[in-house]
Amino acid sequence: MRTQVAIVGCGPAGLFLSHLLHRAGIESIIIENRSRAYIEARIRAGVIEDWAADLMVETGVGQRMQREGLIHGGIHFSFNGSLHRIDFHDLVGKGIMVYGQHEVVKDMIAQRLAEGVQIIFDVDDVSVHDMATETPCVRFRKDGVTEEIACDFIGGCDGFHGISRPSVPAGVLTEYERVYPFGWLGILAEAPPVSEELIYAYHDRGFALFSMRNPHVVRLYLQCDPDEDINNWPDGKIWDELQARLAPEAAAKLQRGPIFQKGVTAMRSFVTEPMQYGRLFLAGDAAHIVPPTGAKGMNLAIADVLVLTNAIKGFYSAGRTDLLDAYSATCLRRVWKAQRFSWWMTQMLHQDPEHNPYDRKRQLAELDYVTSSRVAATSLAENYVGLPLEV
């Protein structure tokens, strides 16, 4: 097989890269080690920044999102028994879109296949080769047969546990990581949301997040130990804990419905530098991970591949290599700002086992400041809805 860009991974990064390249007249092939059914059902983030939602609409993959997504003009903080709203529209004139990542993936896969882009699911034994040359390739096995994709560039969009990043020779990459001493117990339940907008709850018992996927399905989280056994959390205990951590005015609206999915996710921050080696370009979770508190993961992936697409376009249209050379530096400016914001939200809202009464008072003071100072609230809003793009 031969294509211009071989893409490893069929998540948001790989799908958006293929989509944007197609619009620029550049060919790609996507390979994925999971089935289509698996990745379309995999529940992930649900917050789309203002610019990313606009990009989806402008490039023809946002129609269903426009019909079914929920536009939010702010968020709430719950602490000291009260709710406090941050009004994004008033502060920065923008909002966010709540639309599940798995729904984005469904829409993107359907669009890629409709446009004739080849997606090869259920592959194994994937490997990337000759990245430091002008003739890289990707090898894999499909139904027991070894295949090879010859290409000009490789998009490493296969996530934190993929093969792209580990394929870079030792000593080339520097990794920065912070592992947090807590995790999130997340559920999906059939119930109406307690609020039309997300609620971030700070409580002595631990953090909680009240979100939604649509008017009838809620996505709720509880801070817990990172190695928590989900079997120790029957449905009733989860609902009791969610109610206890929420301000009374919102807790009174909490309706307990059937929980149809639950699991525990560990929390980490991670960045690799650079995000490229030769003709291999890392994007999305393959290059960086953020704790979900800041709602940045999928948005960073889309920003990465937008930068990469512009660089590849410049190469094919004008023989430029400067944008390719600058890919890491361009992306990492945004990545580290998102890392800072996600860390800040995380440390402000969670109970750390090493915290003492001083730390808890400091957190409450920070929450009070953010919700009472227009300057502080504006900074939060600007980061949450999405910083200006640099491409």
Q: 72 catalytic, yes or no?
A: yes
Distance in angstroms (rounded) separating the CA atoms of residues 391 and 388: 10
Q: 203 catalytic, yes or no?
A: no
Would you say 270 and 179 are in contact if contact means Cβ atoms under 8 Å apart? no
Would you say 137 and 148 are in contact if contact means Cβ atoms under 8 Å apart? yes
User: Which of these is catalytic: 99, 180, 200, 327?
Assistant: 200
User: Which of these is catalytic: 19, 22, 296, 350?
Assistant: 296
Maximum Cα interatomic distance, the chain, rounded to a whole number of Å: 62
Distance in angstroms (rounded) separating the CA atoms of residues 315 and 321: 6
Sole residue written with tokens 């999928």: 298
User: Which of these is catalytic: 12, 19, 22, 72?
Assistant: 72
User: Which of these is catalytic: 99, 202, 277, 384?
Assistant: 384
Q: In what order do the strands lie in the sheet with 5-8?
A: 118-120, 28-31, 5-8, 153-156, 280-282, 276-277
Q: 292 catalytic, yes or no?
A: yes
The pairing of strands 5-8 and 28-31 is parallel
Q: Which helix (H) or strand (E) holds 360?
A: helix 357-372
User: Which of these is catalytic: 180, 203, 292, 313?
Assistant: 292
Q: Where are the beta strands (DSSP E) in 319-384?
A: none
Distance in angstroms (rounded) separating the CA atoms of residues 246 and 205: 10
Distance in angstroms (rounded) separating the CA atoms of residues 167 and 334: 24
Q: How many CB atoms lie within 10 A of CB 239?
A: 19
Q: 357 catalytic, yes or no?
A: no
Q: 369 catalytic, yes or no?
A: no
DSSP-assigned letters across all residues of 214-269: ETTEEEEEEEE-TT--GGG--HHHHHHHHHHHS-HHHHTT-----EEEEEEEEEEE
Nearby residues of 36 by Cβ (< 8 Å), 6 or more positions away: 109, 119, 121
DSSP-assigned letters across all residues of 82-104: EEEEEEHHHHHS--EEE--HHHH
**Residues with catalytic roles:** 72, 200, 292, 296, 384
